[in-house]
Amino acid sequence: MDLPNATMDEWVSELKPYQANSINQLLNEHAPEEAIKLWLSANGPNTTIQFGGSRDSPEPFFDKFKKEFKKFICGDESYESFRTQLSAETPVAKAIYISVISAALGAALGYAATLLAPAVAIMLNLVCTMGINAWCNAN
């Protein structure tokens, strides 16, 4: 899989404006993985439970998210149909990467792709910064 080499700003600019604004604010104050954890632990309305099902720590959901993201990026066969879908698009826009990966991970984790898109955008930047092989070996 070939990912476009893009900056964090370029990946985040592909998100919906309300997501991009929130993520940019988190990224201004935190490292990328911490920003993902904070995004995934957002409570929203007082009557809802965050992604991990717990009000304490976003770690369990973040760990599941990162594991599934790694499986997608590093070539696990369970995501082969989604990677095939991406390779059929020429050229593949950053927004399509975010959309397809968010949909795949959302299906595996049981969450809406729209809610995962900001975390996926940040992770894609981290992978592009290191390179796929280096990221897969380091994570």
- Cα–Cα distance, 86 to 17 (Å, whole number): 24
Confidence of residue 87 (pLDDT cuts 50, 70, 90): confident
Mean pLDDT of the chain: 86
54: Cα separation from own chain's centroid: 20
Rg value, the chain, Cα: 14
Whether the pLDDT of residue 42 is over 90: the answer is no
Q: What is the mean pLDDT of residues 109-116?
A: 91
pLDDT of 43 over the 90 cut: no
> Is the predicted pLDDT of residue 52 greater than 70, yes or no?
no
pLDDT the model gives residue 50: 46
Contact 122, 31 (CB under 8 A): no
